[in-house]
Amino acid sequence: TDPLWDDYRSLALPLGFLACWSSPIKARDGRVVGTFAFYYRTRRGPEDIERRIVAHCVHLCAIAIEHEDVQSHVRRLAFHDTLTGLPNRALFRERALQMLAALRPGHTFSLCYVDLDDFKGINEALGHRVGDRLLKGVADRLAACLGEGTFIARVAGDEFAVVPLPIEGQEDAQLLAGKISTALDDPFVMDGQKVPLGASIGIAQTSSADMALAELSTCADMALYEAKSEGHGRTSRVYKPEMAAAVRSRRSFRQDIRNAVDAGDFTVVYQPIVALANNQLTAVETLL
């Protein structure tokens, strides 16, 4: 008969319940986090033994519920990026492995890496507070444009990983990259200032559930490297096997340069340029 039951009486009566005695379960800060309730099949109030049960159990319930809240918070900290709220690298790896293992015959698993262009420069010019807000804005735009069913994670400072719904072939992959680029087209407005932000995108695909995630990630990295080498902006590449040889060649060349510098193998030669009309030195060509 309590007025608080007006909206719920129709739920309890069909089950044969004719009375209820409910006590709030409160957290340490006073919030009500649950209720401890006795339901009766007769019209009556609580007995003394039930009051004693409540006196002991409500406190224990509060401890258990708060403990679960803490555990949930710890799990979230372990597997989510605190800045953007997206899954972090650890959860990305776990979820991607599950999705790859569940790949059905005839379907394609796609992995997309999105790397923001010159984000370090933006951080240095506008400050880390603006940089953090930009990263949150990018995360929100990616989530909005890709929709449910697409797994998005922040896997490094300014790098995001995307595992979309099943897409087939390079054409679909390029459409995905175009959707991501379009989402980042409009400049971000920070403290009244427009901040344009481009991104390079690398995509790798496989139809084999047996392909190692690490190998697929390496392929996506190579495609991303290829995209970045094309210059900043709306640049995307889908991995092709010939990229591996090109990347290895470039890395080998860079290492050769470093080794040569360390070993003192470079020498500088100055070659004079002389005007024949008057035999005067007019310039010097510097050769390394």
Asked if 202 and 113 touch (Cβ cutoff 8 Å), the reply is: yes
Say what the pLDDT of residue 50 is: 92
For the chain, what is the mean pLDDT? 89
Query: Helix crossing, 119-126 with 128-146: angle to 10°?
Result: 140
Give every CB contact of residue 249 below 8 A, 6+ residues apart in sequence: none
CA dihedral 149, 154, 155, 159 (to 10 degrees): 110
Q: Which pLDDT does position 234 carry in this prediction?
A: 63
Of 54-63, 69-78, 218-227, least confident by mean pLDDT is 69-78
Helix axes 89-101, 48-79, angle to 10 degrees: 90
For 19-52, write each residue's pLDDT tens digit. 999 999 998 888 999 999 999 999 999 999 999 9
- State the Cα–Cα distance between residues 11 and 195, nearest whole angstrom: 55
The pLDDT value given to residue 64:
92
pLDDT at 88: 93
Contact 39, 18 (CB under 8 A): no
What is the average pLDDT across 180-201? Answer: 89
For residue 158, indicate whether it is catalytic.
yes
What is residue 93's predicted lDDT score, i.e. its pLDDT?
Answer: 92
Q: What is the model's pLDDT at position 192?
A: 85
pLDDT of residue 1: 84
Residue type at 234?
A: R
pTM, entire model: 0.67
Rounded distance, CA 268 to CA 288, Å? 5
201 burial type by CB count under 10 A (0-12 exposed, 13-18 middle, 19+ buried): buried
pLDDT band with cut points at 50, 70 and 90 for residue 78: confident
Q: For 246-286, how does the pLDDT look when each residue is reduced to its tens digit (9 = 90+)?
A: 878 888 999 999 999 999 999 999 999 999 999 999 999 99
- The one catalytic residue in 158, 191, 256, 265 is 158
Give pLDDT tens digits for 195-247.
Answer: 998 899 999 999 888 889 999 999 999 999 888 887 666 688 989 888 888 87
- Residues 126-172: tens digit of each pLDDT: 888 889 999 999 999 999 988 777 899 999 989 999 998 766 677 78
pLDDT given for residue 174 in this prediction:
82
Distances 15 to 20, 23, 38, 62 between C-alpha atoms, Å: 12, 21, 14, 28
For position 219, what pLDDT does the model report?
92
Name residues whose C-beta falls within 8 Å of residue 272's C-beta, 6 or more positions apart in sequence: 281, 283, 284, 285
